[in-house]
């Protein structure tokens, strides 16, 4: 049995961050949401012979529709849950990106849409990838580049 990785350090644009695991209950919520968004993409895919070459058959219009259909409140809820477990690793110690009462813990991050989106996506992926390990969806997602530009892991 593999030892569970409870955190992962990443670097984005020279800044260091730590992605931490969500609680099991919050992680389950995130998994259900992710599956609801991704499953419609698989309309044209034969799951029995799934590999990364199947990426050309993905229904990207469907995933865009799934994402665009998210209500603002739902998207904000997903982002908040994802970002509350992310810390920036600073010389004086770590600082939560989003703290209690949804207050930003790192100055000016609330104005950096690309960084917030990148950290959201990476936090979600870090938290669900172990659950998907060995599933057809996992092999498909490995072929997608989910990390955004300027990310190092």
Where are the domains positioned within the chain?
A: 10-152
Distances (CA, A) of 12 to 33, 86, 151: 25, 13, 4
At residue 136, does pLDDT exceed 60?
A: no
Report pLDDT for 8: 96
Query: What pLDDT digit, counting tens, does each position of 69-114 carry?
Result: 788 898 899 999 999 999 999 999 999 999 988 899 998 899 999 9
Rg (CA), the chain: 16
The secondary structure of residue 105, as a DSSP letter, is: S
Q: Give the angle subtended at the CA of 29 by the CAs of 24 and 33, to the nearest 5°.
A: 140
**pTM of the predicted model, to two decimals?**
0.76
């Amino acid at each position: 049995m593999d030892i569970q990785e409870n955190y992962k350090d990443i670097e984005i644009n020279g800044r260091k961050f730590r992605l931490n695991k969500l609680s099991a209950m919050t992680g389950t919520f995130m998994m259900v949401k992710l599956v609801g968004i991704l499953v419609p993409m698989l309309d044209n895919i034969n799951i029995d012979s799934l590999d990364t070459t199947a990426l050309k058959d993905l229904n990207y219009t469907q995933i865009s529709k799934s994402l665009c259909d998210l209500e603002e409140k739902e998207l904000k809820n997903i982002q908040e849950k994802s970002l509350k477990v992310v810390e920036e690793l600073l010389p004086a110690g770590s600082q939560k990106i989003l703290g209690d009462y949804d207050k930003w813990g790192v100055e000016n991050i609330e104005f950096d849409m690309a960084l917030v989106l990148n950290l959201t996506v990476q936090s979600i992926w870090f938290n669900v990838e172990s659950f998907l390990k060995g599933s057809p969806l996992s092999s498909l997602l490995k072929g997608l580049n989910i990390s955004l530009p300027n990310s190092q892991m």
